[in-house]
């Protein structure tokens, strides 16, 4: 009798130990996430110290990038990144908002809207290297034809082509978020407008869009974050030149594509560190954009 009590006590002691171990493991893993992100941030800062020291802040405004002569200026890449991303955003917004309005308001149920919804999700699933490959083989010749017709230098590759591919790639992000936001517009508001004699278009313009505008903005921000960090598809079609882009049809480079191209070739500390500093800028910008976007969504869904 005494023996079995002891045994039971030992058993429950072990259970409690296991329980505590499990709780602690959960806390440690949750901490690991924080450590991981801080670690990424710190690694980028530490590794870009040589370039921060020797090039200073004017690195970001330097107009020439010439690793052979040890001259580093990131301005062409900043311009390239901003041009491709914003061009892609401008091209994609009409489409993503149209999809959001169609799926959220005109036709939220049924096989046709299911088909469109799945198509949009599959567009997000296609690997970016495949977009790049398709872009090189199909889109570049088409753009070259257009450029010949417009009587400008027919590169084919360049900022415009990358923006086209990027636009297709980022449509799903703004579209699916926008759909959720438009679905959340309370129907009493819409019914009120209809009962006052508003047409469908007037309801969309005066009720739905104003009500969901912060949510739509968040979707646009998230797709901007995607566009800024997208590497492979852009690297394959942008042309990879460190010269300052002169028009939207000229070849260029983005921050991500220059890292992808030159990281393994960088043979001295400052060169490598200058590339990592680009990575740091990219990291900070995308993190800020994502946090703003997510907090807008959070506030919107709480209301």
| Binding status of residue 196 toward another protein by CB under 8 A | no
Q: How far is the CB of 46 from another protein (least distance, A)?
A: 8
- Region of 19-27, 69-77, 151-159, 181-189 interacting with another protein (CB under 8 A): 19-27
| Binding status of residue 86 toward another protein by CB under 8 A | no
| Binding status of residue 98 toward another protein by CB under 8 A | yes
| Binding status of residue 47 toward another protein by CB under 8 A | yes
Q: Do the beta carbons of residue 122 and residue 128 sit within 8 Å?
A: no
Residues 280 and 59: their CA atoms lie apart, in Å, by 13
Closest to another protein by CB, 52 or 287: 287
Closest to another protein by CB, 36 or 150: 36
Binding letters toward another protein, positions 239-268, x by CB under 8 A: -----------------x--xx--xx----
| Binding status of residue 229 toward another protein by CB under 8 A | yes
Q: How far is the CB of 151 from another protein (least distance, A)?
A: 27
Q: How far is the CB of 39 from another protein (least distance, A)?
A: 8
Which two tokens mark 23?
């709780």
Q: How far is the CB of 122 from another protein (least distance, A)?
A: 6
Torsional class of 196: left (φ above 0), alpha (ψ -120 to 50), beta (otherwise): alpha
| Binding status of residue 292 toward another protein by CB under 8 A | no
| Binding status of residue 158 toward another protein by CB under 8 A | no
Closest to another protein by CB, 9 or 36: 36
| Binding status of residue 160 toward another protein by CB under 8 A | no
Q: Do the beta carbons of residue 243 and residue 24 sit within 8 Å?
A: no
Q: Do the beta carbons of residue 160 and residue 84 sit within 8 Å?
A: no
| Binding status of residue 123 toward another protein by CB under 8 A | yes
- Region of 61-69, 72-80, 151-159, 226-234 interacting with another protein (CB under 8 A): 226-234
- Candidates 71, 90, 138, 152: give the one binding another protein (CB under 8 A): 138
- Candidates 64, 118, 246, 301: give the one binding another protein (CB under 8 A): 118
Closest to another protein by CB, 80 or 225: 225
């Amino acid at each position: 009798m005494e023996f079995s009590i002891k045994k039971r006590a030992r058993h429950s002691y072990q259970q409690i130990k296991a329980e505590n171990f499990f709780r602690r493991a959960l806390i440690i893993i949750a901490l690991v996430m924080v450590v991981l992100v801080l670690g990424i941030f710190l690694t980028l800062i530490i590794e870009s110290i040589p370039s921060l020291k020797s090039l200073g802040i004017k690195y970001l405004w330097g107009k020439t990038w010439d690793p052979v002569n040890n001259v580093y200026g990131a301005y062409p890449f900043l311009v390239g990144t901003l041009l491709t991303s914003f061009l892609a955003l401008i091209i994609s917004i009409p489409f993503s908002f149209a999809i959001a309005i169609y799926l959220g308001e005109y036709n939220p149920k049924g096989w046709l809207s299911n088909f469109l919804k799945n198509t949009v999700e599959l567009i997000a699933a296609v690997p970016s290297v495949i977009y790049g490959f398709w872009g090189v083989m199909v889109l570049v010749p088409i753009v070259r034809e257009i450029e010949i017709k417009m009587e400008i230098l027919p590169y084919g590759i360049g900022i415009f082509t990358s923006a086209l591919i990027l636009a297709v790639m980022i449509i799903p992000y703004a579209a699916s978020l926008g759909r959720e936001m438009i679905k959340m517009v309370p129907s009493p508001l819409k019914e009120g407008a209809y009962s006052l004699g508003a047409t469908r278009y007037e309801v969309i313009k005066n009720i739905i869009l104003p009500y969901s505008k912060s949510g739509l903005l968040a979707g646009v921000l998230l797709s901007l974050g995607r566009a800024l960090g997208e590497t492979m598809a852009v690297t394959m079609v942008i042309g990879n030149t460190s010269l300052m882009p002169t028009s939207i049809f000229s070849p260029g480079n983005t921050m991500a594509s220059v890292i992808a191209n030159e990281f393994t070739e960088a043979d001295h500390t400052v060169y490598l560190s200058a590339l990592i500093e680009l990575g740091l800028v990219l990291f900070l910008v995308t993190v800020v954009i994502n946090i703003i976007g997510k907090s807008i969504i959070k506030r919107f869904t709480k209301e």
